[in-house]
A and B are shown apart, each in its own frame.
Chain A
């Protein structure tokens, strides 16, 4: 590789690393506890809750919805979701159908009695970590900004792999020149840890970037795939809870139309995941791969008529698959532990990268000089 080529790639590597490096460090550090989000949640919330009437028939969804709205007077329903391992139904409400996440209220109900289930405790700390990790408390702009930092990191990875070549021309894989001065030793560590984590970090980085695009992806889906359903309706007129058809019947009709699929959640009219006029009843498949993919059935919320099943387009499927690939929560505890270790290794790559930048020599680009040294040429 010519010195000019190396200089160009090292400039690319330097700037695409330096700009996002503090944000990437924040993401790596907050990511460490988030990998074990479920385990931490379970440890803080010993599962001693009992249904009021175990074995009793479950209340219908309209009754649960009524309880939820009595519990939050003046609010409208946004989402309803269903616990897998206990007869509990969760209802998210808000002051308006398009309320932002900060104004939403989440409550859980015993499906055998309609009583409130005490909320999980101790989740506040993890919520703060999660918010920091997703948008730094800045909402959509913060999320998209972190996505841009992730995109820069992908460029840094590519340029890092290119620079790996001249550095390793005369070194066997895995060489760490520990007896040399610290800069050389840490350079070798940076190169080793960087190259062994490259595939994992590229996947976690790319899927992280895709996750930051959730809002535009969902908007595109609604605009492109659901627009035909809203024809004939006055724009923006969301039916009031009292003017909505039976939710229980709607969900039952949807389940009949989607045999073999598992009910996941209901999005109410006017929210992010539905039109202004429909219940969107989301199902997921029952195999390990398809359980990540959601498919909605849309039901006219005024008449209760089933408008049809609408399979998600490829970009929405990509978003669904990006979640497990980013979180590392899809292969049992050993995979989470590996995710944790690989995250730690990434922190070392970032830290040594900052060190290499701080200890650079200004006259000749350090990389060029060190590569010349390796090749036995005078610096």
Chain B
């Protein structure tokens, strides 16, 4: 059996996605143009990751 992953290993990527999502939700609120573009990048991340998982070889 594989060894157990630590909490940090389990939540590293989810936490990164959550924090960047929150940053994106706020940046679109405080400004336009570049600030909006930043929100598209950060909130695009969960979507991009899902597409990546759907495309990679499954186990």
Contact = CB atoms under 8 A, between A and B. Distances in A.
Interface in B4-51: 4-5, 7, 10-14, 17-19, 21-22, 25, 28-32, 35-36, 39-40, 43-47, 49-50
A56 B50 CA distance: 55
B14 A178 contact: no
Contacts of A173: 10, 12-14
A164 B22 contact: no
A376 B4 CA distance: 11
A236 to B, nearest CB: 39
Interface in A248-292: 288-289, 292
Nearest to B54: A176
A175 B13 contact: no
B17 A170 contact: no
A132 to B, nearest CB: 25
B18 to A, nearest CB: 4
A203 interface: yes
Given A164-B10, A169-B5, A331-B36, A288 B46 contact: no
Contact of B50 (A196, A292, A331, A334): A196
Given A192-B50, A330-B29, A200 B21 contact: yes
B10 A169 contact: yes
Nearest to B51: A341
B4 A174 contact: no
A372 to B, nearest CB: 12
Contacts of B49: 174, 196
Interface of chain B, main secondary structure: helix
Nearest to B44: A338
Contacts of B2: 170
Interface residues of A, number: 39
B5 A170 contact: yes
A178 B55 CA distance: 12
A160 B19 CA distance: 18
Contact of A164 (B12, B14, B28, B50): B14
A179 interface: yes
Contact of B47 (A178, A195, A341): A341
A200 B43 contact: yes
B17 A196 contact: yes
Nearest to A321: B29
Contacts of B43: 200, 335, 338, 342
B36 to A, nearest CB: 4
- Shortest 10 CB-CB distances between A and B: which pairs? A331-B28, A178-B58, A196-B46, A199-B18, A199-B21, A331-B36, A334-B40, A173-B13, A174-B53, A376-B1
Given A321-B29, A330-B29, 9 more contacts: A196-B45, A197-B46, A203-B25, A325-B25, A331-B39, A342-B47, A345-B50, A375-B1, A376-B1
